[in-house]
A and B are shown apart, each in its own frame.
Chain A
Amino acid sequence: MDEKLNKRLPYSVPDGFFDVMEDNVMAKIKADAGINVGGDKADTQMRDKQYRKTTTHTRTISLSILAMAASLLLLFTIFSQSTKTVQQANGMESIDMAFSQLNTDDQAFLMEIYDDDMFLDDATAVY
């Protein structure tokens, strides 16, 4: 009966596969036993350590730059706000001073003009 059955398989393997498999097994056995295989494990550990060190440094530098930028932005915002307030105050004071130096008729004339000035009203409006 057996002569009717063929032992040929429809399967194959890549060239040099069995040597690769043997090397893989030996490497795994050594790795499991904690033995360095040609320094590979030591190299990997060193690379991991360097990667972690570099990552930590990069993170520290990034955070420092971010903190400095935030501080500068805060300072600039506070400074620009205070300058604006002083400028606004200076502008109003000088106008008030000039206005007070006018005689009564001129003051009345200006008040009459600016009371009807729609653009002057818009300029003071708050949006």
Chain B
Amino acid sequence: MEMDADQQEAFAELYRRRVGMVYQLCLMLLKNVSDAEDATQTVFRKVLERGEVFRDLEHEKAWCIVTARNECKSQLRHWWRTRRVGEEALDTLAWEQPEDGALWELLLALSQRERMAVYLHYYQGYDTAQTAELLGTKPATLRTWLYRARGKLKQELEVEEYGV
């Protein structure tokens, strides 16, 4: 099925609105640039295949987050996929300040669920109930993940800033 010019424009707008977030998530979970690019493309292909308008921007954002996470989980368990090291991801990022790179490395060293919890709660600004819902877990469990993550990030962050 071919898209007409209006549909292409609408899709491109949505893409530009969300590609940064989707790529960020994919790179954070897959730790590899080319895998993150592939996963990003797959997420937006699913947007196209979905063929339905999102209820609102929040719905669109949440849908992209959940789809990106599922796609990454699927890739990580893919039949033919074998785990790759994250060096490519680290090498290609240029940091404003060296300690930013150190924090990124620590983030990547968190478990997947801790990484997702930190990203959604502290970076995307979802509250614990919303974050738990997006990750398909209970708020109490989410708080445990955040607690553990904060402990692991302690050496880089002034974690007392982060109350849950």
A and B co-occur in one complex: no
Interface residues of B, Cβ cutoff 8 Å to A: none
Interface residues of A, Cβ cutoff 8 Å to B: none
